[in-house]
Amino acid sequence: MERLDSRSKYPSDLEEYLGTYGMHFNKKLYHFAVSMMKNHKGETMQPWDLDRVDEFLKFNGVSVKNKVGYDVAYVLTMGLADYFGSSIPDDKHLALFAQDYCDDPDGSPTRAFDEFIAKCVALGEPVFWSEML
């Protein structure tokens, strides 16, 4: 099935980003997204590198099939910021949350990117795509 926005005209810098990374997080976009995240204590979240993400998932016995760019890192950080200590009680469930979110069989493989963009639109937060390249 074709995306509803697949024929949309995007600004040239966003087109360049999408041409290089697709609808996924690269390191710069991931760091930008994390800089906007706060945990329940109001503390700004810190980004994870991909080695830490892989070690965390492996330690918790979780494998994510749909693992592109920094998408899983974004989902883990979002889970920590928004749900950890509440509906996500511990590390194992955080890892399972990331797996469920990224590998949802009837979900989109670009879900993390799509929802981040929707959040930016809803909050009026611009993304300067030329800075994300």
> What are the structural domain ranges in the chain?
27-128
Nearest CA-CA partner of 30 in 50, 13, 14: 50
Record the tokens describing residue 70, joined without a space: 């920094």
Strand-pair partners of 38: 44
Confidence (pTM): 0.93
Q: Which residue has the tokens 């590998």?
A: 103
CA distances from 83 to 37, 64, 107 (A): 12, 19, 20
Record the tokens describing residue 111, joined without a space: 């879900």
Record the tokens describing residue 100, joined without a space: 């469920």
pLDDT tens-place string over residues 19-41? 999 999 999 999 999 999 999 99
pLDDT tens-place string over residues 45-59? 999 999 999 999 999
Local confidence band at 10 (pLDDT 50, 70, 90 cut-offs): confident
**One-character DSSP codes across 14-28:** HHHHHHHH-SS--HH
Residue 71 contacts residue 98 (beta carbons within 8 Å): no
For residue 102, the SS3 value is helix
Longest Cα–Cα distance of the chain, Å, equals: 43
